[in-house]
Every structure is written in C-alpha cells, then in structure tokens.
Structure 1
C-alpha cells in the first residue's frame, strides 16, 4: 500500500486498479453524488477503468505530492471515499479568470456511512497542512454547489474563505469558490491533524 499521509483516523493512499469496484460503488449512491456535478449521471465501470483511474495514476507520476487519494478508515480498514489535492487546471470548473493554473484544489467524496464523523474536516486539514508545510502550495481552493451546505461548513472549518459565487455553465447551477493563501495559513490550527506515514 503506497501511503501518502495518515491522520488519527484515516489513511490516504494511492489508488490502484483494484479500486475500480470501490469507485463504482461510491458513485452509484445517488445520495453521495446528489450535490455534485455528477448528479443524474450513473457511473460507467469501463470509464472508471479506462479514464478515471489512469488519470489518477498519471498525476502520481507527474506531480510530487499532488493527486487523488483513496481514503481508508483505520479502525475498519474500509474504503470510505477519496480526497483530492491537485492543480485546479485539471478541474472542469477551471477558469483562468477565477484562479491560476497552479493553484491547488481541495476536494473529497465520502460514502454515506462515513458522513457526520468529521472525516472530511480531518482529511482536508491534513492535506492543507502538508501542502503549505511540505509542498510548494501557495493557494488552496475548493468549490461546491451553493446548496451543498455540509461541504461549505467543512471549507469554513478548515480555514477557507468565500471568494466568489458563479454559475457553472454545464448545469446552470450556482457554485461557491473558497480559498486560503499560504500567507493566511496558521500552522497551529492544523499541526495536530497530520501523522507521519510509517
């Protein structure tokens, strides 16, 4: 298992080809994708195998420390979703008028069984800490549908501030953009979240 980082309760590791079933199951839950741009689009297993996972693998090769990571609950050893922390240029939301191509976008998607346990906040804080402390991250961004109040609360808990609201052209829905600059990063608010990987 190629571990990227650990928190008190989570392991974030690289995806493997064996995770196709995990991703398919995650995206097959209509409640999980209800407030995402994937809503109403059932996942295709072949797309996961031939496009999504190969994209993750390519980013591991291209970037040192950025990518999309499988989230494993330490206690149960279960796959509970994913966290992404990678250049926003790869996002369907990317617009040069809103962000620089090398700004880092934070994102996550968790199984319903993992909701309400603080995992989104825990994993996000650890990634932000690692980005600003160990990588060369200068700006962290996160986007969510304006109606996704749970994700917005996580953004605010991890220190991001509202920068802009805009309409996403592909689905005509209102989106919020939150940001945190390295100059505004307060290390003491994050340092306890990250554990050294063994």
Structure 2
C-alpha cells in the first residue's frame, strides 16, 4: 500500500495501490481523471483512500484538490466514509491531517468545503476543524434527487492564518 499520510488511526493512500475493481464507468472515466489529477498537482493533491491502520479496513476517501482550472493555493477538502465508520472521529481526524499538510507543506492559502445545509454531521466536522461558514450555495444538479436538497448547501472556509492561530 502506497501510504502518503498517517494519523494515529488512519493511513491515507493514493488510489494507485492495485487494480480497480469498480464498474466499467469508474475504470474508464473516473480513475483516469483521478490519476491525471495526481500528475497535474505533483502527487500532493487529489483523492485519497482511507484505511484503518489497525487491520487495514477501508473506511472511505478524502479529497484535497483545487478546482480543475482554479489556483493551487485554494483547495477543496472533502470526505465520504462508509456508514460503519460514521461517528468514530475518522472524518475529523483525516481532514485535520490533510489541513495540516496543506498549510504546512503545500503552500495552500485557503481550504474550502461544501455540504448540504441539512447535513449536520458534515457541518459539525467542518466546525470542529474551525472552518467558518462563508456562504450558502444552490444545490448542484447531480444532487437534486437527494432528500433535503431543496434547502441548498453551505460553504465553509479556513485560511492558513486562521489554521495557524487556532
């Protein structure tokens, strides 16, 4: 396994640690984009698989990447964890490690994250990370079928200066 960042309980790795087992669409469309992102951003930014260090169970993935044509010093933080991993602090732990790396090692100026307004679990994580509510946003078209999407979304942000002062 090609580990790029570790916390007390997690190992985050690049998604190149083996042959993809996902459906054809993922193999032909999404995986090439993920790999191209690693190359474009020098291997430091992109999509990362998260595993428990004790036993290696896959718990989900994290994102730390800029918009496709955005500045490299403004990046998105994201996470999707298996339901079995919810409520165990993994999203906060992995996100905190990525924020630390972004600000201390990668020269990132600002990190942002978005979620649905009604996703209180994700909002709580962003607030634990001391991110601040920056804006309300419309629901993206690909999320309109999700329950609660009619309430729109929210965007949280944290700057390097805020991170260093916490």
- Give the TM-score, by structure 2 length: 0.87
1:37-186 equivalences under 5 Å are 45-64=23-42, 65-89=44-68, 101-102=71-72, 103-170=74-141, 171=144, 173=150, 174-186=152-164
**Is this contact kept in 2: 1:106–1:141, CA < 8 A?**
yes
Partner of 1:125: helix, strand, or coil?
Answer: helix
Runs of 4+ aligned residues of structure 1 deviating over 6 Å after TM superposition are: none
RMSD after superposition: 1.8
Q: Distance in 1 between matches of 2:120 and 2:19?
A: 29
> Which residue in the other structure is 1:10 paired with?
10
- Cα deviation digits, residues 117-145 of structure 1 (max 9, x gap): 10000000000000000001001000001
- Cα deviation digits, residues 43-97 of structure 1 (max 9, x gap): xx1111111111111111111310100101111211111000000337xxxxxxx
Q: Give unmatched runs, 5+ long, in structure 1.
A: 25-44, 91-99, 190-198
Q: Give unmatched runs, 5+ long, in structure 2.
A: none
Q: CA deviation at 1:169?
A: 4.5
Q: Distance in 1 between matches of 2:71 and 2:61?
A: 22
Cα 1:87–1:128 shift into 2, 3 Å: same
Q: CA deviation at 1:184?
A: 1.1
- Cα deviation digits, residues 153-192 of structure 1 (max 9, x gap): 00000111000002124126401000001121136x5xxx
- Give the TM-score, by structure 1 length: 0.74
**Is this contact kept in 1: 2:4–2:12, CA < 8 A?**
yes
Partner of 2:112: helix, strand, or coil?
Answer: strand
